[in-house]
Amino acid sequence: MAAKDSGAESKRSRRTGASPRSGQEPRSESPLSLERIVATAVELLDAEGLDGLKMRRLADRLGAGAMSLYWHVGNKEEVFDLALDSVLEYRGPAQADESDDWRGEVVHMLKDWRASMLRHPWSAALLPRRALGPNILNRLELLSRTLSGAGVADADLNVAIWSLWNYVIGATITRANFDLSEDDRAAAQQRLTALSQHYPTIERSRLLLDNDWDGAFRKGLDFLLDGLSPRR
């Protein structure tokens, strides 16, 4: 298993150490930099979604020409990669490192993960396509260590990790994409009612109208962790 590589490398071999800024004028606009490009890309993605990120528009927001971006970045895919990883950083739980509440730690990290992605709804759909940014590896490493310390057998460890991964990814992608306007919601309800004779059970349980995403995520995660808990 592995993630794809963007293939292209930016030409700039190394960042110039400290900002030179020797002159007196602070430049008409602040100078381009990878950091600024990535931060602005995240803004643009948040505002306009995955399809809204266009190189020309990104350059506009940066007060630069479109082709200037290509000095710092190999191609558009690399912008996606960098934006994605920049959004997935995790600083551990608030309290000390040496907690014995492994379950609480797992839940905390996964809830934070989901929350981070929902703050940037384009990120969930992107993640499975390019999985190996350092921040994601960090989370997987932490998960791995915690479960291992909790007594999950080595033979079950990978399965456990992937199960949690699958659950979080699936839940978050689904949630991010079902975030609809009121109009969409009304139309959907109407459509479903029209079909209710074909789907009586999900109609009765109001599966598609249930709105408690956070609660459902939390409860389902509990079920999964129940199943994963090492049998004594």
Partner DNA sequence: GAATTGACTCGTACAGTGTACGATTTATTC
Partner DNA sequence: GAATAAATCGTACACTGTACGAGTCAATTC
- Of 72, 85, 81, 79, nearest in space to 10 by CA: 72
Residue 80: burial class (beta carbons within 10 Å; 0-12, 13-18, 19+): buried
Tell me which of a copy of itself, DNA, none is bound by residue 54, counting a contact when its beta carbon lies within the kind-specific cut-off of 5 to 8 angstroms.
DNA
Instruction: Tell me the backbone φ, ψ of residue 27, rounded to 5 degrees.
Output: 65, 145
Closer to DNA by CB, 67 or 186: give it: 67
Distance of CA 102 to the CA centre of its chain: 23
What letter does residue 166 receive in the DSSP assignment? H
Residues in the chain: 232
Shortest Å, Cβ 95 to a copy of itself: 21
- Of 147, 165, 169, nearest in space to 156 by CA: 147
Residue 228 interacting with a copy of itself (CB under 8 A): yes
Q: Which stretch binds a copy of itself (CB under 8 A): 55-63, 66-74, 88-96, 192-200?
A: 192-200
Q: Which of 11, 170, 193, 230 binds a copy of itself (CB under 8 A)?
A: 170
Binding residues for DNA (CB under 7 A): 12-13, 15-16, 20, 22-23, 27, 31-32, 53-57, 59, 64-68, 70-72, 75-77
Residue 173 interacting with a copy of itself (CB under 8 A): yes
Residue 196 interacting with a copy of itself (CB under 8 A): no
Q: Cβ–Cβ contacts within 10 Å for residue 162, how many?
A: 12
What letter does residue 209 receive in the DSSP assignment? T
Q: Which stretch binds a copy of itself (CB under 8 A): 53-61, 84-92, 94-102, 184-192?
A: 184-192
- Size of the residue set binding a copy of itself (CB under 8 A): 69
Q: Which of 48, 89, 184, 214 binds a copy of itself (CB under 8 A)?
A: 184
Residue 75 interacting with a copy of itself (CB under 8 A): no
Under 8 Å between Cβ of 97 and 104: no
Shortest Å, Cβ 43 to DNA: 16
